[in-house]
Every structure is written in C-alpha cells, then in structure tokens.
Structure 1
Amino acid sequence: MFIAMNRFRVTPDRTDEFEAIWLERESHLQGLPGFVEFHMLRGPEEEDHVLYASHTIWRSREDFEAWTHSEAFRAAHANAGQSRREGLYLGPPRFEGFDVIQTLGADA
C-alpha cells in the first residue's frame, strides 16, 4: 500500500475558498487501477496559516505513479493553476509519499 499526501498552508481568512475549490472539483480517481480512497484533511491553525493535507491511498506505489502519468491525472489538475489565487497559499503544496509498512484495523 502507498499513501500520497500533499500539504497546503492556507491563509486563515481564505479557508472557505480553499475548501470550496476542493469540494467542487472533479478528482477523476474513482475506477482507477489501485485507487483505494481519498481524504481532504483540515489540520491545525497557526497564526499565519491553516494546514490542510490531501491523503490518497493506493494499492501500490506503482499504481500511484501510473496515475500521475495518466489522462485522469491531467484532467484532475487541468485547472490547478486557476486555484492558485494570489494570497490563498503560503507557498506551493508539499508532496510526501509513504510506503505502508504496517496496518492495524479495528478487527485486528
């Protein structure tokens, strides 16, 4: 399993705008080989930003990498530049990829 995350530092007075961008966008993830689930997470609020993270779970790193080279990826990110409105973000998103080495569930 592979987890792909992007962290976004959003200006505190623009969080409604940021959330609307994500809630209204088409992800193009459903039905892709290896896609498991997606979460948009709202984290702690600092003085100058609110931390958000997109959290996507994939069956494997290879499935994730195949998606990044797909038409679905290009379609999902076609309007990404439009969402980079002046003052919305404190810098670019920060990507982090994780290979899962242990999973514990409620039934384990």
Structure 2
Amino acid sequence: MIAVANSLPVREGAADRIVEMFSAGRGAVQDFPGFVAMEVLKSEGEDEVLVVTWWEDRASFDAWVASDAFREAHGRGGGGGLLREHPRMTVYEVALERGRRPVR
C-alpha cells in the first residue's frame, strides 16, 4: 500500500473553500480501481491543506494520474487562485500499519 500526500499552500481565508471542493467529490477518485481512502487535513493556521490518498499499490495511483478522470478533475484549474504556490506531492510506501480507523 502507498500513501500520496499533496500539500496545498492556500491563500489566507481559502482553506475552507479548498476542503469544500474535495467534499463535493470531484474527479470520482473514490470509484477508481486501487483507491483505498482519502483524508483532507486542514492545518491549525489554515495556511495549508494536506490531501492524503491511500492506494493499493503504485500502479493503481499511476493509472489514476494517467486517466481521463484525473485530467477532468485537475484540468479545470481546481485551485482557482486559492493557492499561494504550486502544490507539493510526496509518495510514501506504507512500511508499518497498526489498526486503521474508519475515514469519515
């Protein structure tokens, strides 16, 4: 399993709008093969939103990135001026896992 973390540096007052965009379910990532879960985290200072997606394997994530659904979800200028700078993505291999709590 892998986790993909996307750090979104948001403009002042924009964190809730970014969270709402993800809440609307854009891109149908939840229906994509190999997708496990997604968490959207808002920093205490509300200057960053961290989006963590969990995938069965790297091949599943790469297939999502190469898909028409991904292009559709990300081709609409999703940040719409809400970001201070470009997002930063990091991919992690899950090296150890203890009990997982349900994602809301």
TM-score tier (shorter)? 0.7 to 0.9
Which aligned segments of 4 or more residues in structure 1 are displaced greater than 4 angstroms?
none
How far apart are 1:43 and its partner, in Å? Answer: 1.6
Larger Rg: 1
Q: Select the residue among 63, 81, 90 that pairs with 2:84.
A: 90
Match of 1:64 in 2: 61
TM-score by length of 2: 0.82
Is the partner of 2:85 in helix, strand or coil? coil
How far apart are 1:82 and its partner, in Å? Answer: 5.2
Matched residues, percent identical? 28
How far apart are 1:66 and its partner, in Å? Answer: 1.2
RMSD: 1.9
TM-score by length of 1: 0.79
CA distance in 1, matches of 2:16, 2:97: 33
**Partner AA of 1:84 in structure 2:** G
Q: Select the residue among 89, 97, 100 that pairs with 1:103.
A: 97
Aligned length: 100
Is the partner of 1:37 in helix, strand or coil? strand
**Is there any run of 5+ residues in structure 2 with no aligned partner, and where?**
none
